[in-house]
A and B are shown apart, each in its own frame.
Chain A
């Protein structure tokens, strides 16, 4: 969890956001930050509160309680012009040509007509749509439409990117392309916050991960930090034996799969004793600590 001392006065900070919709509690005290140069992944299942949190940041929803700060000061409308937003579903005009459309949104964010036009051309070319500036949005494939949406969020040179499920429905090539753009933007000093279900992807790209569930932040930190918080997991595969670990003292079976059994080892338990027990069952093919991926981390956090 972020402590107050860690929070710099730079970038985006979200404190104790609360929001209900009638009976449904969407946000129940959400706190996290996205600093310049950081790519932060917001992870959680449907209904966890990711979209609500992002909308609160973008000022589309007003939280019941809590605060959003930007560069150390409470966020106001003018500052939001420095943000680039990509909503979960397509938020564009279907009949408008894409070149004009990207330029339009750029102008709404304060760019001059000339700069907006140039910016639109630059980004659409960068995203592989340079030849299709006069085509209407509806004539493009889903993946290409998403690229236009991305261009809209980038064209006005925002300091913060807030992207809701930007990778949804993209083919691997498009995923790589988008990842490159995000890394590039982070390297240039932008703060990036994006949500996704694709945990492997988040693991690859993000520096920090914020796991939300039922409107609360379950974990917040770098992957390494998060792994360190969890108890050690030992994966053991014994040839020919499967149900042998149930009676072992000092361990708990986390899961069993084709690659053996994963045990959660309680502190103080003698792992050599576990090894001997395994050897007694048959040839031990695998006996090593599991370096939990985000998928496992997430599962543990959400279920534990």
Chain B
């Protein structure tokens, strides 16, 4: 049998064992549901916050202000719906019940009362103030017998046009979210599936299954098969969750995913796969060190630490995507998986940098796989005691 056939057999067993479990199906379903909820919710909330401000105009004199209010509201880009209300008591009831957001009552020639249920937003206050001032000014001019036509030009709002001096990168928010999501995804999936690799290896080692296996196949084939199999299950689950999220997004229109972010996805996928492979082999090595499954936590700690650091550093990277330290660190293999996507999304990455990082990662993955194989094969000799990392590195090839 060729090495590839062996790897495929082993990977197939890992996949079958996990897919066979009912737990995994439930987990996939739950994850997909969570993603759907997470995606749909913002969309649903947004639609409610885009609702117009319900403004009650109390009394006939106030109701005459309706055109003025609409005008100033339009200028301030605030969506207002003016509703005629008979008296203050009705207004009060409507405010409490939610039928109105704000109630306005002209109490005199130059006084007015604004009623709200709990608080008045600054933008609403400004709009009302502007509307009242405008009407006040017009009536004052009329009383002073100034022809409106002459003064109208002075009354129209001054046109302001915006000039942005340092425009942000297009879709910056979306890209930031993408970078964070990629790092978070890496962290979570390694916790789940990388953990599964460690547990599986530890179980084989402590139960002597490893002995029977090694009598027939090479340790490297075993581990590659394991990582491939468990990684495939993980990828499949993520794929299901992602598909669910995208479908939900299409229905609810929560977020429009910019093309620039979609173009990032192939690079993100490569970083993810490389990072997963590196950490999975490291976790396999950790799993091969233990003599009892209870020791797994302690053994995997040295692997979990750089992963956590890599995740946390992404937040620092977002603030300064072209920093020198970030550039350097993004080539350090344990950190590449999370930092490189952040740089690709938000910073400037030169054409030569990606192939270099790829080569470094490939070499690291290869080295880690070999180490894991050595520890797996050698670790069994020390049946009773747990091997330390240093002793493991000294094992013969």
Contacts and interface: CB of A to CB of B under 8 A. Distances in A.
Contacts of A108: 6, 9-10, 213, 216-217
Contact of A87 (B1, B208, B218, B382): B208
A81 interface: yes
A105 B17 contact: no
B396 interface: yes
Interface string B4-20: 00100110010011000
B212 A89 contact: no
Interface stretch (A57-65, A169-177, A253-261, A267-275): A57-65
Contacts of A59: 214-215
B9 A58 contact: no
B211 interface: yes
A99 to B, nearest CB: 13
Interface stretch (A90-98, A178-186, A233-241): A90-98
B209 interface: yes
A58 B207 contact: no
B208 A107 contact: no
A90 B204 CA distance: 10
Contacts of A62: 396
Nearest to A106: B216
A107 B5 CA distance: 10
A58 B211 contact: yes
A91 B216 contact: no
A183 B318 CA distance: 72
Nearest to A19: B381
Contact of A105 (B21, B216, B382): B216
B326 interface: no
B130 to A, nearest CB: 72
Interface in A72-104: 77, 80-81, 83, 85-96, 100, 104
Contact of A90 (B1, B16, B207): B207
B212 A105 contact: yes
A207 interface: no
Contacts of A110: 1
Given A62-B396, A104-B13, A108-B213, A89 B381 contact: no
A107 B10 CA distance: 10
Given A21-B381, A61-B381, A96-B17, A152 B208 contact: no
Contact of B208 (A61, A90, A100): A90
Interface string B205-241: 0011111111111100000000000000000000000
A297 to B, nearest CB: 30
B216 A60 contact: no
B303 to A, nearest CB: 24
B207 A60 contact: no
B11 to A, nearest CB: 12
B95 interface: no
B215 A89 contact: no
Contacts of A88: 208
A109 B216 contact: yes
B380 interface: yes
Contact of A89 (B9, B208, B214, B217): B208
Contact of B207 (A80, A81, A91): A91
Given A59-B215, A109-B216, A92 B17 contact: no
A107 B211 contact: no
Interface in B115-134: none
B201 to A, nearest CB: 13
Contacts of B214: 58-60
A62 B377 CA distance: 10
A214 interface: no
Contact of B209 (A60, A61, A93, A109): A93
A80 B21 CA distance: 33
Contacts of A91: 207-213
Q: Most chain-A CB neighbours within 10 Å: which of B215, B216, B380, B381?
A: B215
B13 A87 contact: no
A83 B215 contact: yes
A55 interface: yes
A90 B380 CA distance: 15
Contacts of B381: 21, 61
Contacts of B215: 58-60, 80, 83, 85
B208 to A, nearest CB: 4
A107 B9 contact: yes
B216 A93 contact: no
Interface of A: 21, 55, 58-62, 77, 80-81, 83, 85-96, 100, 104-105, 107-110, 152
10 contacts: A58-B211, A58-B215, A80-B216, A83-B215, A85-B212, A89-B207, A91-B207, A92-B212, A108-B9, A109-B216
Q: Which 4 A-B pairs have the closest CB atoms?
A: A91-B208, A91-B212, A91-B209, A85-B215
Given A91-B211, A95-B21, 16 more contacts: A60-B214, A80-B216, A85-B212, A85-B215, A86-B212, A88-B208, A91-B208, A92-B207, A94-B207, A95-B17, A108-B9, A108-B10, A108-B216, A108-B217, A110-B1, A152-B212
